[in-house]
Amino acid sequence: MAAAGAEGLKPVRVWDWPVRLIHWTLVLLIAFSWWSAENDHLGWHRLSGYTIIGLLTFRLYWGLAGSQTARFGAFVKGPGEVLTYARGLFGRRPADGVGHNALGGWSVLAMLTLLVAQVSLGLFAVDTDGLESGPFSAYVDFHTGRVAAHWHHVVFNLLLALIALHVAAIAFYAVVKRDNLVGPMLTGFRTLPASTPPVRFAPFWKLALGIVIAAGVAVVLSRGGRLL
């Protein structure tokens, strides 16, 4: 819930369905990627990884060409704005704005960067006996494939730490700031002051183009870079 001004509140659509669908699918597939690697289902692990590559490609494209609240330009703020936001962090009053806040924007960027690193390393990774590997491991020697696997492991742990911080931040907003961020990530709507201008959402053709690009990138990378 946002702060109630004299003017009252209204539900505002802040997240489009691609952002929400990508978020919750990423949550499920990251858990599945971990489970499938731990239980030696590397075929499923790779499949899950290629789907994540598609989702990430779409999300990066959407960050440049998508709806207002999905755009990097809208939520990646300079140090001045981050500091001002951080100073007011412990106040009870929830933020009035739409989209990610100045601190959250950087954590989103950090999570997306680590995910890109994670899938890139996976493409080159080889297991100890060389039986299971990513589709790009054929282009590097065994030692390099093992180094990629080592960093694939390290980056996964960094990702886990960042996810823990992310979930703790969401809980902090719910408890200290009385601001439920999970509801809007599920429904798309947030209760905001009635004067909040509507969010601009991207047209269908941009969505369709993004799906084609994302599917193309995922398929080509799954084939070790080959088009046919």
Based on the shown chain and the rule CB under 6 A, indicate whether residue 118 belongs to the binding site for ligand HEM. yes
Helix, strand counts (H, E) of the chain: 8, 2
Judged by CB under 6 A, the chain residues 185 through 204 that form the site for ligand HEM are 185
Based on the shown chain and the rule CB under 6 A, indicate whether residue 2 belongs to the binding site for ligand HEM. no
Based on the shown chain and the rule CB under 6 A, indicate whether residue 122 belongs to the binding site for ligand HEM. yes
Based on the shown chain and the rule CB under 6 A, indicate whether residue 220 belongs to the binding site for ligand HEM. no
Contact range with ligand HEM by CB under 6 A, out of 33-41, 85-93, 197-205, 211-219: 33-41
Identify the residue whose tokens are 């299971």: 132
Integer CA distances (angstroms), 105 to 99, 127, 151, 221, in order: 9, 35, 25, 28
Member of 2, 74, 98, 123 binding ligand HEM (CB under 6 A): 123
Based on the shown chain and the rule CB under 6 A, indicate whether residue 59 belongs to the binding site for ligand HEM. yes
Three-class SS of 134-181: CCCHHHCCHHHHHHHHHHHHHHHHHHHHHHHHHHHHHHHHHHCCCCCC
Nearer to ligand HEM, 27 or 212 (CB): 27
Identify the residue whose tokens are 């669908």: 21
Based on the shown chain and the rule CB under 6 A, indicate whether residue 209 belongs to the binding site for ligand HEM. no
Give backbone dihedrals phi and psi of 73, rounded to 5 degrees, phi first. -60, -25
Q: Counting every residue, how long is the chain? A: 228
Contacting residues toward ligand HEM, per CB under 6 A? 19, 22-23, 26-27, 30, 33-34, 37, 42, 45-46, 49, 52, 59, 70, 100, 104, 108, 111-112, 115, 118-119, 122-123, 125, 127, 132-134, 149, 152-153, 156, 163, 166-167, 170, 181-182, 185
